[in-house]
Structure 1
Amino acid sequence: MALKEKDEVKKVVLFLKEIGIEVIEKELGETFLPGLELGPDCIYIDYNKLLYPGDILHEAGHLAVTVPAERKLVGTAEISKDWPTQGDEIAAILWSYAALHHLEFPAEFVFHPNGYRDSSEWFISNFESENYMGLPLLEWIGLCLGNEKAEKENKSPFPAMQKWLRD
Protein backbone atom coordinates (compact mmCIF):
# COMPACT_ATOMS: atom_id res chain seq x y z
CA MET A 1 0.00 0.00 0.00
CA ALA A 2 1.31 3.44 -0.92
CA LEU A 3 2.26 5.61 2.05
CA LYS A 4 -0.26 8.25 0.94
CA GLU A 5 -3.06 5.69 1.27
CA LYS A 6 -2.25 4.60 4.83
CA ASP A 7 -4.93 5.45 7.38
CA GLU A 8 -2.49 7.25 9.70
CA VAL A 9 -1.27 9.51 6.91
CA LYS A 10 -4.81 10.31 5.79
CA LYS A 11 -5.76 11.10 9.40
CA VAL A 12 -2.76 13.44 9.81
CA VAL A 13 -3.44 15.27 6.54
CA LEU A 14 -7.13 15.69 7.36
CA PHE A 15 -6.31 16.99 10.84
CA LEU A 16 -3.84 19.54 9.45
CA LYS A 17 -6.33 20.78 6.89
CA GLU A 18 -9.00 21.09 9.63
CA ILE A 19 -6.73 23.29 11.77
CA GLY A 20 -5.65 25.48 8.85
CA ILE A 21 -2.34 24.03 7.69
CA GLU A 22 -2.39 23.31 3.98
CA VAL A 23 -0.75 20.09 2.78
CA ILE A 24 0.52 20.13 -0.80
CA GLU A 25 1.78 17.09 -2.61
CA LYS A 26 4.91 18.04 -4.55
CA GLU A 27 8.02 16.40 -5.94
CA LEU A 28 10.93 17.49 -3.75
CA GLY A 29 14.69 17.31 -4.11
CA GLU A 30 17.03 16.90 -1.15
CA THR A 31 15.39 18.12 2.06
CA PHE A 32 16.38 18.11 5.74
CA LEU A 33 13.68 15.52 6.44
CA PRO A 34 13.16 13.17 3.50
CA GLY A 35 9.98 13.99 1.59
CA LEU A 36 9.05 17.09 3.61
CA GLU A 37 9.53 20.81 3.21
CA LEU A 38 7.82 23.79 4.76
CA GLY A 39 6.40 26.61 2.69
CA PRO A 40 4.29 29.70 3.38
CA ASP A 41 1.44 28.44 5.60
CA CYS A 42 1.89 24.93 4.20
CA ILE A 43 3.74 21.65 4.21
CA TYR A 44 4.99 20.13 0.97
CA ILE A 45 5.04 16.33 0.94
CA ASP A 46 6.75 14.06 -1.54
CA TYR A 47 5.20 10.69 -0.69
CA ASN A 48 7.82 8.88 -2.78
CA LYS A 49 10.59 10.17 -0.49
CA LEU A 50 8.79 10.44 2.86
CA LEU A 51 10.26 7.95 5.33
CA TYR A 52 8.44 8.71 8.58
CA PRO A 53 4.85 9.99 8.46
CA GLY A 54 5.17 11.24 12.06
CA ASP A 55 7.64 13.83 10.80
CA ILE A 56 4.67 15.56 9.15
CA LEU A 57 3.32 16.39 12.62
CA HIS A 58 6.66 17.73 13.82
CA GLU A 59 6.97 20.00 10.80
CA ALA A 60 3.36 21.13 11.27
CA GLY A 61 4.32 22.01 14.83
CA HIS A 62 6.86 24.50 13.49
CA LEU A 63 4.16 26.26 11.49
CA ALA A 64 1.65 26.09 14.35
CA VAL A 65 3.88 27.80 16.93
CA THR A 66 5.02 30.56 14.55
CA VAL A 67 3.20 33.90 14.54
CA PRO A 68 0.96 34.33 11.46
CA ALA A 69 3.06 37.11 9.89
CA GLU A 70 6.15 34.87 9.96
CA ARG A 71 4.19 31.74 9.02
CA LYS A 72 3.47 33.39 5.67
CA LEU A 73 7.24 33.80 5.12
CA VAL A 74 8.30 30.22 5.92
CA GLY A 75 10.18 28.71 3.01
CA THR A 76 10.95 32.09 1.45
CA ALA A 77 14.08 34.26 1.50
CA GLU A 78 12.25 36.73 3.76
CA ILE A 79 12.01 34.39 6.78
CA SER A 80 14.47 35.25 9.55
CA LYS A 81 17.74 33.33 9.38
CA ASP A 82 17.17 32.51 13.07
CA TRP A 83 13.88 30.72 12.36
CA PRO A 84 13.13 28.35 13.93
CA THR A 85 14.65 29.38 17.23
CA GLN A 86 15.56 26.88 19.93
CA GLY A 87 12.32 27.86 21.71
CA ASP A 88 10.38 27.23 18.49
CA GLU A 89 11.96 23.78 18.28
CA ILE A 90 10.98 22.89 21.83
CA ALA A 91 7.45 24.21 21.27
CA ALA A 92 7.13 22.26 17.98
CA ILE A 93 8.21 19.04 19.70
CA LEU A 94 5.65 19.50 22.47
CA TRP A 95 2.96 20.56 19.96
CA SER A 96 3.59 17.37 17.97
CA TYR A 97 3.17 15.34 21.16
CA ALA A 98 -0.22 17.02 21.75
CA ALA A 99 -1.20 16.32 18.13
CA LEU A 100 -0.35 12.63 18.31
CA HIS A 101 -2.22 12.43 21.62
CA HIS A 102 -5.23 14.12 19.96
CA LEU A 103 -5.05 11.72 17.01
CA GLU A 104 -4.67 8.75 19.41
CA PHE A 105 -1.36 7.62 17.90
CA PRO A 106 1.43 6.00 19.91
CA ALA A 107 4.31 8.30 20.86
CA GLU A 108 6.62 6.32 18.55
CA PHE A 109 4.65 7.61 15.56
CA VAL A 110 6.36 10.98 15.92
CA PHE A 111 9.27 10.08 18.19
CA HIS A 112 10.61 7.24 16.05
CA PRO A 113 14.06 5.74 16.74
CA ASN A 114 15.62 7.40 13.67
CA GLY A 115 14.81 10.95 14.70
CA TYR A 116 15.51 13.46 17.43
CA ARG A 117 19.27 12.81 17.52
CA ASP A 118 18.83 9.45 19.25
CA SER A 119 16.74 11.09 22.02
CA SER A 120 13.35 9.69 21.02
CA GLU A 121 13.13 7.38 24.04
CA TRP A 122 14.08 10.27 26.31
CA PHE A 123 11.26 12.45 24.92
CA ILE A 124 8.73 9.62 25.18
CA SER A 125 9.76 8.84 28.75
CA ASN A 126 9.49 12.48 29.80
CA PHE A 127 6.14 13.05 28.11
CA GLU A 128 4.64 9.84 29.46
CA SER A 129 5.78 10.97 32.94
CA GLU A 130 3.98 14.28 32.28
CA ASN A 131 7.29 16.13 32.29
CA TYR A 132 6.36 18.52 29.50
CA MET A 133 9.46 20.61 28.87
CA GLY A 134 8.37 23.69 26.99
CA LEU A 135 4.86 23.74 28.44
CA PRO A 136 5.20 27.28 29.85
CA LEU A 137 6.08 28.46 26.33
CA LEU A 138 3.07 26.75 24.71
CA GLU A 139 0.90 28.14 27.49
CA TRP A 140 2.36 31.65 27.08
CA ILE A 141 1.63 31.69 23.34
CA GLY A 142 -1.96 30.71 24.13
CA LEU A 143 -2.22 27.21 22.71
CA CYS A 144 -2.82 25.21 25.88
CA LEU A 145 -3.15 25.31 29.64
CA GLY A 146 -1.03 23.72 32.34
CA ASN A 147 -2.77 21.87 35.17
CA GLU A 148 -3.09 24.87 37.48
CA LYS A 149 -4.65 27.27 34.95
CA ALA A 150 -6.81 24.52 33.46
CA GLU A 151 -8.25 23.72 36.87
CA LYS A 152 -8.97 27.42 37.59
CA GLU A 153 -10.67 27.83 34.22
CA ASN A 154 -12.42 24.45 34.37
CA LYS A 155 -10.79 23.38 31.08
CA SER A 156 -8.72 20.37 30.02
CA PRO A 157 -4.98 20.62 30.68
CA PHE A 158 -2.17 19.80 28.26
CA PRO A 159 -1.88 17.57 26.25
CA ALA A 160 -5.34 18.87 25.35
CA MET A 161 -4.98 22.03 23.30
CA GLN A 162 -7.18 25.12 23.52
CA LYS A 163 -6.28 25.95 19.93
CA TRP A 164 -3.82 24.58 17.41
CA LEU A 165 -2.39 27.67 15.69
CA ARG A 166 -0.67 30.64 17.27
CA ASP A 167 -2.34 34.02 16.79
Structure 2
Amino acid sequence: MNYLTTITDFVRSVGIEVIFETIAEETFLPGILISNGQLIIDTTQLLYPGDVLHEAGHIAAMPAAERHSLRGNVGMVKDASEAMGEEMMAIAWSYAACVATGIPPEIVFHEHGYKGASQWYIAEYTSGNHLSLPLMQWAGFCYDPKNAVTNNTLPYPSMIRWLRE
Protein backbone atom coordinates (compact mmCIF):
# COMPACT_ATOMS: atom_id res chain seq x y z
CA MET A 1 0.00 0.00 0.00
CA ASN A 2 1.26 3.47 -0.82
CA TYR A 3 0.64 5.13 2.53
CA LEU A 4 1.65 8.60 1.35
CA THR A 5 -0.97 8.57 -1.40
CA THR A 6 -3.65 7.28 0.97
CA ILE A 7 -2.72 9.90 3.56
CA THR A 8 -2.60 12.85 1.18
CA ASP A 9 -5.86 11.81 -0.50
CA PHE A 10 -7.52 11.67 2.92
CA VAL A 11 -6.04 14.97 4.10
CA ARG A 12 -7.25 16.69 0.94
CA SER A 13 -10.69 15.10 1.31
CA VAL A 14 -11.16 16.73 4.72
CA GLY A 15 -10.27 20.18 3.39
CA ILE A 16 -6.55 20.62 4.04
CA GLU A 17 -4.50 21.62 1.02
CA VAL A 18 -1.46 19.47 0.21
CA ILE A 19 1.28 20.72 -2.10
CA PHE A 20 4.24 18.68 -3.30
CA GLU A 21 7.33 20.83 -3.82
CA THR A 22 10.94 21.25 -2.78
CA ILE A 23 11.45 22.62 0.71
CA ALA A 24 14.68 24.61 1.03
CA GLU A 25 14.42 25.54 4.71
CA GLU A 26 14.97 23.39 7.78
CA THR A 27 11.71 21.93 9.08
CA PHE A 28 10.57 20.44 12.36
CA LEU A 29 9.90 17.11 10.64
CA PRO A 30 11.94 16.20 7.55
CA GLY A 31 10.11 16.89 4.31
CA ILE A 32 7.04 18.57 5.82
CA LEU A 33 6.30 22.26 6.18
CA ILE A 34 3.11 23.85 7.42
CA SER A 35 2.68 27.11 5.55
CA ASN A 36 -0.42 29.30 5.64
CA GLY A 37 -2.48 26.35 6.85
CA GLN A 38 -1.30 24.13 3.98
CA LEU A 39 0.91 21.08 4.07
CA ILE A 40 3.98 21.33 1.86
CA ILE A 41 5.61 17.95 1.28
CA ASP A 42 9.06 17.37 -0.17
CA THR A 43 9.15 13.66 -1.00
CA THR A 44 12.96 13.74 -1.38
CA GLN A 45 13.29 14.64 2.32
CA LEU A 46 10.24 12.90 3.82
CA LEU A 47 11.27 10.06 6.14
CA TYR A 48 7.95 8.85 7.55
CA PRO A 49 4.66 9.26 5.64
CA GLY A 50 2.72 9.01 8.92
CA ASP A 51 4.23 12.33 9.98
CA VAL A 52 2.10 13.96 7.28
CA LEU A 53 -1.05 12.72 8.98
CA HIS A 54 0.13 14.00 12.36
CA GLU A 55 0.96 17.44 10.97
CA ALA A 56 -2.45 17.52 9.27
CA GLY A 57 -3.87 16.88 12.73
CA HIS A 58 -2.21 20.08 13.94
CA ILE A 59 -3.84 22.04 11.15
CA ALA A 60 -7.21 20.41 11.80
CA ALA A 61 -7.03 21.14 15.54
CA MET A 62 -6.61 24.87 15.01
CA PRO A 63 -9.71 27.08 15.07
CA ALA A 64 -10.78 27.91 11.53
CA ALA A 65 -10.02 31.61 11.99
CA GLU A 66 -6.37 30.82 12.85
CA ARG A 67 -5.74 27.94 10.48
CA HIS A 68 -4.60 30.04 7.51
CA SER A 69 -1.89 31.74 9.59
CA LEU A 70 -0.10 28.54 10.66
CA ARG A 71 3.54 28.34 9.65
CA GLY A 72 6.49 26.19 10.68
CA ASN A 73 6.57 24.44 14.05
CA VAL A 74 3.04 25.20 15.19
CA GLY A 75 3.76 24.10 18.75
CA MET A 76 6.13 27.03 19.19
CA VAL A 77 3.61 29.80 18.51
CA LYS A 78 1.33 29.25 21.50
CA ASP A 79 1.76 29.22 25.25
CA ALA A 80 2.83 25.85 26.62
CA SER A 81 -0.57 24.67 27.90
CA GLU A 82 -2.39 25.63 24.70
CA ALA A 83 0.32 24.00 22.58
CA MET A 84 0.09 20.80 24.67
CA GLY A 85 -3.69 20.64 24.21
CA GLU A 86 -3.33 21.04 20.46
CA GLU A 87 -0.59 18.38 20.39
CA MET A 88 -2.89 15.99 22.24
CA MET A 89 -5.70 16.71 19.78
CA ALA A 90 -3.33 16.19 16.82
CA ILE A 91 -2.39 12.78 18.22
CA ALA A 92 -6.02 11.78 18.79
CA TRP A 93 -6.99 13.15 15.35
CA SER A 94 -4.17 11.12 13.78
CA TYR A 95 -5.41 7.93 15.39
CA ALA A 96 -8.98 8.57 14.21
CA ALA A 97 -7.61 9.17 10.71
CA CYS A 98 -5.74 5.85 10.85
CA VAL A 99 -8.99 4.09 11.67
CA ALA A 100 -10.90 5.97 8.96
CA THR A 101 -8.32 5.17 6.26
CA GLY A 102 -7.36 1.67 7.38
CA ILE A 103 -3.73 2.71 7.87
CA PRO A 104 -1.99 0.73 10.63
CA PRO A 105 -1.31 3.01 13.62
CA GLU A 106 2.38 2.01 13.41
CA ILE A 107 2.65 4.17 10.29
CA VAL A 108 1.81 7.33 12.24
CA PHE A 109 3.12 6.24 15.63
CA HIS A 110 6.45 5.04 14.28
CA GLU A 111 9.40 4.13 16.48
CA HIS A 112 11.35 7.30 15.61
CA GLY A 113 8.66 9.69 16.87
CA TYR A 114 6.67 10.57 19.94
CA LYS A 115 9.69 10.76 22.26
CA GLY A 116 9.90 6.98 22.54
CA ALA A 117 6.22 6.56 23.48
CA SER A 118 4.95 5.29 20.12
CA GLN A 119 4.13 1.79 21.33
CA TRP A 120 2.42 3.21 24.40
CA TYR A 121 0.16 5.40 22.23
CA ILE A 122 -0.69 2.45 20.01
CA ALA A 123 -1.50 0.25 23.01
CA GLU A 124 -3.65 2.94 24.64
CA TYR A 125 -5.68 3.82 21.56
CA THR A 126 -6.15 0.28 20.25
CA SER A 127 -7.28 -0.92 23.69
CA GLY A 128 -10.03 1.70 23.75
CA ASN A 129 -8.33 4.13 26.12
CA HIS A 130 -9.01 7.13 23.93
CA LEU A 131 -6.59 9.69 25.23
CA SER A 132 -7.69 13.30 24.85
CA LEU A 133 -11.30 12.37 24.12
CA PRO A 134 -12.62 15.24 26.29
CA LEU A 135 -10.53 17.74 24.29
CA MET A 136 -11.75 16.24 21.02
CA GLN A 137 -15.37 16.51 22.20
CA TRP A 138 -14.83 20.08 23.41
CA ALA A 139 -13.46 21.03 19.98
CA GLY A 140 -16.51 19.47 18.29
CA PHE A 141 -14.74 16.58 16.53
CA CYS A 142 -16.52 13.59 18.06
CA TYR A 143 -18.62 12.06 20.82
CA ASP A 144 -17.95 9.65 23.64
CA PRO A 145 -20.06 6.45 23.66
CA LYS A 146 -22.88 7.93 25.81
CA ASN A 147 -23.23 11.14 23.79
CA ALA A 148 -22.90 9.27 20.50
CA VAL A 149 -25.99 7.21 21.36
CA THR A 150 -27.87 10.38 22.35
CA ASN A 151 -26.89 11.99 19.03
CA ASN A 152 -27.54 8.83 16.98
CA THR A 153 -23.98 8.52 15.71
CA LEU A 154 -20.86 6.47 16.36
CA PRO A 155 -18.39 7.38 19.12
CA TYR A 156 -14.72 8.26 18.71
CA PRO A 157 -12.68 7.23 16.77
CA SER A 158 -15.54 8.03 14.39
CA MET A 159 -15.62 11.76 13.77
CA ILE A 160 -18.51 14.13 13.23
CA ARG A 161 -16.13 16.63 11.60
CA TRP A 162 -12.45 16.61 10.67
CA LEU A 163 -11.73 20.32 10.92
CA ARG A 164 -12.28 22.48 13.99
CA GLU A 165 -14.75 25.28 13.43
* Corresponding residue number in structure 2 for 1:3: none
Work out the number of aligned pairs and report it: 160
Q: 1:86-138: per-residue Cα shift (whole Å, max 9, x none)?
A: 00000000000000110001110100001000000010010011111111111
- In the alignment, structure 1 segments of 5+ residues that lack a partner are 1-5
- In the alignment, structure 2 segments of 5+ residues that lack a partner are none
Identical aligned pairs, as a percentage?
41
Separation in 1, partners of 2:134, 2:13: 25
1:39 has 2:35 as partner: yes
* Corresponding residue number in structure 2 for 1:159: 157
Separation in 1, partners of 2:147, 2:17: 31
* Corresponding residue number in structure 1 for 2:50: 54
* SS, match of residue 97 in structure 1: helix
- Normalising by the residue count of structure 1, what TM-score does the alignment of the two structures yield? 0.91
* SS, match of residue 148 in structure 1: helix
RMSD, aligned CA:
1.7
- Normalising by the residue count of structure 2, what TM-score does the alignment of the two structures yield? 0.92
- Note the 1:73-152 alignment, pairs <5 A: 73-75=69-71, 81-82=77-78, 85-152=83-150
Deviation at 1:7, TM superposition (A): 2.3
Separation in 2, partners of 1:99, 1:30: 27
Q: Which runs of structure 1 show a deviation greater than 4 angstroms over 4 or more consecutive aligned residues? A: none
